[in-house]
Amino acid sequence: MKIDVNQLAEHFAHIPFQVEGIYRYATNPGVPHADYTDSFPGFVFPLTGKIQFQFNGMPYVLSPGKVVHGGAKMKLDKKMFDNTNWEYILVQYRICNSELEESSFSHQHFELSTGQSPRLLELIMRLWHVYNQRGGISMFQTEMLFRDVLNEALICVVNRQISSESHALFERVSHYIHEYYYQGLTIASLAEQYNVNRNRLSYVFRKHSGMGPAEYLLKYRINMAQKMLFISDVPVQQIAQTVGIADPFYFSKVFKKKFGCSPTEYRQKFINNPC
């Protein structure tokens, strides 16, 4: 089940809750599993391996990089994968207000795709160790750490969503550049076409290509010009215009900077050494 991470964050920000129990499970064929979840909802944090749980018939494959939430008293089925060792930590919690509990996410099952996060793993392991100590300080730290764990998990989900969105934007814009590089494209026109500001577009291109959109466009034009020099005897000035660079002197300057010689010299070398 998909979940709106912002709604989930708002839910935990307004509803009082506390840790009910923290349990660590690992591969053990001799231990039978329950047919229903416990009386409290909980988050499952996979540590290693892979195992499948079904909450009310909905399957979830538990593996590192995911966090799964199961509601209280749900029909539970478990599937083991051959030759796969697994380990996970279950954190159960309870809503401290019975009226708010009825409208809470505690009755739902869902998955959070956090990705591999060393900090999240560090926090969940610290939570496990603190919970198993005795005394009031331990109880207090457990409550604080559980909130830190949830905060980190939600941040990981949001960051992955942002990264996915930025990659999709990069794919769309770069594909458009590959199709229409020969036209009078500008960074302003690209940003306007895809309804993003120039700073955002620049960030996305630097993140996914290591260069800004202007440099990316120019590089692609020069590469296309290089191919044209191989397959045609069209004048260099015309090739420059064909790939969208109006100034032939600028074209030659950029080409020489990349390939170490002018377009004319480059073509001559290719003609004399076709292999």
* Whole-number pLDDT of residue 102: 62
Instruction: From 126, 161, 196, give the residue that closes a domain.
Output: 161
pLDDT at residue 50 is higher than 80: yes
Does residue 36 sit in the same domain as residue 135?
yes
Question: Is 27 within 8 Å of 87 (Cβ atoms)?
Answer: yes
Give pLDDT tens digits for 1-38.
Answer: 678 899 999 988 888 999 999 999 988 655 556 788 98
* Domain identity same for 18 and 146: yes
Residues 29 and 79 both lie in one domain: yes
Does residue 176 form part of some domain?
no
Instruction: In whole angstroms, give the CA distance from residue 49 to residue 81.
Output: 9
Residues forming beta bridges with residue 205, ordered by sequence position: none
Which of residues 113, 128, 161 is at a domain's end? 161
Q: Contact, 35 vs 71, CB < 8 A? A: no
For residue 6, give the 3-state DSSP assignment.
helix
CB 123 within 8 A of CB 84: no
Question: Do residues 225 and 241 lie in contact, with contact meaning Cβ atoms separated by under 8 Å?
Answer: no
pLDDT of residue 154: 96
What pLDDT does 156 receive?
A: 95
Say whether both 42 and 129 belong to one domain.
yes
- CATH label of the domain that carries residue 235: 1.10.10.60
Q: Tell me whether residue 246 is in a domain.
A: yes
User: What's the CA gap between 92 and 70, in Å, rounded?
Assistant: 9
Decide which of 93, 128, 161 is a domain's last residue: 161
Higher local confidence (pLDDT), 34 or 66: 66
| Number of domains forming the structure of the chain | 2
My answer on whether 203 and 136 are in the same domain is no
Instruction: Indicate whether 244 and 147 sit together in one domain.
Output: no
pLDDT one-digit tens code per residue, 143-173: 999 999 999 999 999 999 988 999 999 999 9
- Verify that 140 and 191 share a domain, yes or no: no
Residues 65 and 120 in one domain: yes
Residue 171 maps to a domain: no
The range of the structural domain enclosing residue 216 comes to 181-275
For residues 39 and 77, membership in a common domain is answered with yes
Instruction: Dig out the tokens for 6 from the structure.
Output: 């912002």
CA angle 84, 50, 36 (to 5 degrees): 115
Q: What is the mean pLDDT of the chain?
A: 90
pLDDT of residue 4: 87
Judge whether 166 lies within some domain.
Answer: no
Are 64 and 110 part of one and the same domain?
Answer: yes
Does residue 11 lie in a domain region? yes
Cβ neighbours around 45 below 10 Å, total = 27
- In whole angstroms, give the CA distance from residue 104 to residue 79: 28
Could you tell me if residue 221 is inside a domain?
A: yes
Per residue in 74-122, pLDDT (tens digit) is: 999 988 887 778 999 999 999 987 765 566 688 899 999 999 999 999 9
192 shares its domain with 151? no
Q: 77 - beta bridge partners?
A: 54
Taking residues 245-257, what's their average pLDDT? 94
156/189 same-domain check: no
pLDDT band at residue 125 under the 50/70/90 scheme: very high
CATH number of the domain enclosing 21: 2.60.120.280
Give domain status of residue 174, yes or no. no
Q: Which of 153-162, 243-252, 263-272 has the lowest mean pLDDT?
A: 263-272
